[in-house]
Structure 1
Amino acid sequence: MSNNQYSSKLQRLKEVIITGLLGELPSITLGCECRNLLYRLIFSRIGSSVYIQEGVEFIGTSAIEIGNGVHILKGARLDAGRYHNNKLFLADRVAIERNVNIGCLDNTVIHIGSDTFLGPNVSIAGPGNIKIGKRCLISSLTKIYANDRELCDRIEPIKYQGISRQGITIENDCWLGHSVTVLDGVTIGEGSVVAAGAVVTKDIPPNSVAVGVPAQVIKCRTTKQLLQQGRTRG
């Protein structure tokens, strides 16, 4: 067994022991405080004032960074994988609701910007890199999949043709409605809104409103709307 394999197995053993012992401690007791303290032994980084409820599953904690003021609720699963070069980063004040599933594969970077909210049952998966900007609202049951099947060979079974990994970028201040699907290779421009149930298969320009399957831009957000939003934030 190589040194890297031994180190990886040892890290995984520490991860299983610590999360197994502390993961189900109720937050109303000392559960949250104990997790904040001892999870620092296995995570790449955990900031201050982090709130992790019981029943949250972590895999590949040495590749997970958690910023200040992050909230992660019951049933969430954060999997940075057991591969090298993976990174899962939650910036300051990210809020992750119940049953969110975030998964890397090999050589995957998933970055979620500060003050972004992920609603219940959101799914985010590599292996393509995924970047979600600051102050985004990702509504419940949304699916963000940075992978697709290769289909160019009519003879070879689809199962064996491999997958694409172009990646996905969702820029700052975007709002994705209930049960939106975002597919590989897409960029959603800053300040855009994607309506509930839409399937995003191509880029959405900044400050757009998109609806439908596949998603089509139906209008641009007006200067008045953007100015009103800015005043509200101020």
Structure 2
Amino acid sequence: ADTCIYIDEETFIGPGVCIEGPGNIKIGKRCMIAAHSGIYANSHNFANSLEPIKHQGVTRKGIVIEDDCWIGHGVTVLDGVTIGQGSVIGAGTVVNKNVPPLSVAVGVPARVIKSRISQSLWEEGVGISGT
């Protein structure tokens, strides 16, 4: 099957960004991806210590970066991850698991440190889905 890298409108990709998409990558609208980040939609199998890693094959789960995300400088996004709409990923972060919408995530590995949902909207019952 053919693989696809899809980048939607008004998305900025900084210099030196590597987008490697054998497992498919979808990047939404109005995202900002800072310089020297890497988005890798594949991973090597390495379970068998008697066989060269190079010969053990790869997985290709794919990556989704939803609309309006800001990916900081030098972030690495690993295979199988979805970064939810409106999320901010701090510089140098390694994203190895899903990030919920409207989150701020930092660190190696990534950990969500706060939500971007404003307290006033939260009190009015306007959740992430906007209902």
Match of 1:170 among 54, 65, 77: 65
- Using structure 1 for the length normalisation, give the TM-score: 0.50
Runs (4+) of structure 1 exceeding 3 A deviation are none
Would you say 1:143 and 2:43 are equivalent positions? Answer: no
**How far, CA to CA, are the matches of 1:178 and 1:205 in structure 2?**
20
Which structure has more relative contact order (CA 8 Å, sep 6+)? It is 2
Alignment of 1:1-234 (within 5 A): 107-223=2-118
Residues 61-95 of structure 1 show CA distances to partners (whole Å, capped at 9, x for unaligned) of xxxxxxxxxxxxxxxxxxxxxxxx5xxxxxxxxxx
In structure 2, what is the Cα distance between the partners aligned to 1:122 and 1:225? 37
Q: How far is the alpha carbon of 1:117 from its aligned partner?
A: 0.3
More helix by share: 1
SS of 1:217 mapped into structure 2? strand
Residue 154 of structure 1 deviates from its aligned partner by 2.1
Percent of aligned positions that are identical:
61
Q: How many residues align?
A: 121
Q: 1:225 to 1:141 in 2, by over 3 A?
A: farther
RMSD: 1.5
Q: Secondary structure at the match of 1:178?
A: coil
CA-CA distance at 1:209 after TM superposition = 0.1
Question: Looking at CA atoms only, which structure, 1 or 2, has the larger radius of gyration?
Answer: 1
SS at match of 2:19: strand
Shift of the alpha carbon at 1:151? 1.4
Q: What are the ranges of 5 or more consecutive residues in structure 1 without an aligned counterpart? A: 1-84, 86-106, 227-234
Residue 108 of structure 1 deviates from its aligned partner by 1.0
